[in-house]
Protein backbone atom coordinates (compact mmCIF):
# COMPACT_ATOMS: atom_id res chain seq x y z
CA UNK A 1 0.00 0.00 0.00
CA UNK A 2 1.44 3.35 -1.03
CA UNK A 3 0.98 6.34 1.25
CA UNK A 4 1.51 9.66 -0.55
CA UNK A 5 2.00 12.23 2.21
CA UNK A 6 2.02 14.96 -0.44
CA UNK A 7 -1.71 14.29 -0.92
CA UNK A 8 -2.58 14.33 2.80
CA UNK A 9 -3.60 17.65 4.31
CA UNK A 10 -1.47 19.01 7.14
CA UNK A 11 -3.02 19.44 10.56
CA UNK A 12 -1.45 21.57 13.28
CA UNK A 13 -1.66 20.25 16.82
CA UNK A 14 -0.69 22.51 19.70
CA UNK A 15 0.42 21.16 23.07
CA UNK A 16 0.54 17.50 22.03
CA UNK A 17 -0.03 15.26 25.08
CA UNK A 18 0.36 18.23 27.41
CA UNK A 19 3.51 19.59 25.76
CA UNK A 20 4.04 23.04 24.27
CA UNK A 21 4.28 24.51 20.80
CA UNK A 22 3.14 23.30 17.41
CA UNK A 23 3.49 19.95 15.71
CA UNK A 24 2.44 19.85 12.05
CA UNK A 25 1.36 16.40 10.90
CA UNK A 26 0.23 14.50 7.84
CA UNK A 27 -1.52 11.44 9.28
CA UNK A 28 -2.35 8.06 7.82
CA UNK A 29 -3.57 4.86 9.43
CA UNK A 30 -5.81 1.84 9.14
CA UNK A 31 -6.67 0.92 12.73
CA UNK A 32 -3.69 -1.43 12.94
CA UNK A 33 -1.04 1.28 12.74
CA UNK A 34 -0.73 5.05 12.65
CA UNK A 35 1.83 6.37 10.17
CA UNK A 36 2.73 10.05 10.42
CA UNK A 37 5.02 12.50 8.66
CA UNK A 38 5.59 15.44 10.97
CA UNK A 39 7.39 18.64 11.77
CA UNK A 40 8.04 19.92 15.28
CA UNK A 41 8.76 23.63 15.57
CA UNK A 42 11.84 24.96 17.44
CA UNK A 43 11.23 24.94 21.20
CA UNK A 44 8.16 22.70 20.90
CA UNK A 45 7.82 19.39 22.70
CA UNK A 46 5.37 16.60 23.37
CA UNK A 47 4.33 15.90 26.93
CA UNK A 48 5.79 12.86 28.67
CA UNK A 49 3.45 9.92 28.06
CA UNK A 50 3.39 6.13 28.39
CA UNK A 51 2.57 3.83 25.49
CA UNK A 52 -0.02 1.55 27.07
CA UNK A 53 -1.37 -0.19 23.94
CA UNK A 54 1.28 0.38 21.29
CA UNK A 55 4.90 1.20 20.62
CA UNK A 56 6.32 4.12 18.63
CA UNK A 57 9.17 4.32 16.17
CA UNK A 58 10.39 7.82 15.23
CA UNK A 59 12.93 8.29 12.42
CA UNK A 60 14.61 11.71 12.28
CA UNK A 61 14.75 13.10 8.74
CA UNK A 62 16.27 16.49 9.56
CA UNK A 63 17.03 18.52 12.65
CA UNK A 64 17.68 17.04 16.06
CA UNK A 65 15.48 15.85 18.89
CA UNK A 66 15.97 15.35 22.60
CA UNK A 67 13.98 12.39 23.89
CA UNK A 68 13.19 11.83 27.52
CA UNK A 69 13.00 8.04 27.60
CA UNK A 70 11.92 6.44 30.87
CA UNK A 71 14.40 8.02 33.32
CA UNK A 72 17.08 9.19 30.88
CA UNK A 73 17.61 11.61 28.00
CA UNK A 74 18.75 10.72 24.49
CA UNK A 75 19.66 12.98 21.56
CA UNK A 76 18.75 11.86 18.04
CA UNK A 77 19.90 13.49 14.79
CA UNK A 78 19.05 13.01 11.13
CA UNK A 79 19.47 9.37 10.13
CA UNK A 80 18.81 8.04 13.65
CA UNK A 81 15.73 6.38 15.05
CA UNK A 82 14.12 6.51 18.50
CA UNK A 83 12.08 3.50 19.65
CA UNK A 84 9.64 3.55 22.56
CA UNK A 85 8.34 0.03 23.29
CA UNK A 86 4.88 -0.69 24.66
CA UNK A 87 4.83 0.01 28.42
CA UNK A 88 7.55 2.67 28.29
CA UNK A 89 7.39 6.48 28.50
CA UNK A 90 8.87 9.20 26.35
CA UNK A 91 8.73 12.83 25.27
CA UNK A 92 10.23 14.52 22.20
CA UNK A 93 11.61 18.06 22.17
CA UNK A 94 13.08 20.24 19.45
CA UNK A 95 15.87 22.15 21.22
CA UNK A 96 17.34 23.30 17.92
CA UNK A 97 16.79 26.45 15.90
CA UNK A 98 15.55 24.56 12.82
CA UNK A 99 12.36 22.64 12.31
CA UNK A 100 12.54 18.95 13.32
CA UNK A 101 11.25 16.71 10.53
CA UNK A 102 10.37 13.11 11.37
CA UNK A 103 8.51 9.99 10.29
CA UNK A 104 6.66 8.02 12.98
CA UNK A 105 5.00 4.59 13.03
CA UNK A 106 2.73 3.51 15.88
CA UNK A 107 1.69 -0.13 15.44
CA UNK A 108 -1.19 -1.31 17.63
CA UNK A 109 -0.50 -4.41 19.73
CA UNK A 110 -3.08 -7.06 20.59
Query: Domains of the chain (ranges plus CATH)?
Result: 11-107 (2.60.120.10)
24-66: pLDDT as tens digits: 999 999 989 999 999 999 999 999 999 999 999 999 999 999 9
49 contacts 109 by C-beta, under 8 angstroms: no
- Where does the pLDDT of residue 71 fall: very low under 50, low under 70, confident under 90, or very high at 90 and above? confident
Q: State how far the Cα of 35 lies from the Cα of 42, in Å rounded to an integer.
A: 22
**CB within 8 A of 88, min separation 6: which ones?**
50, 51, 69, 70
Torsion of CA 94, 71, 84, 52, to 10 degrees: -120
Q: State how far the Cα of 53 lies from the Cα of 62, in Å rounded to an integer.
A: 28
Average pLDDT, the chain: 96
Instruction: Report pTM.
Output: 0.94
Amino acid sequence: MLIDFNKIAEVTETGVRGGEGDMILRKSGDGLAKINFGRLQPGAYTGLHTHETNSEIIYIISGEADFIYDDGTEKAVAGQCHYCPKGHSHSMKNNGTDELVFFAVLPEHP
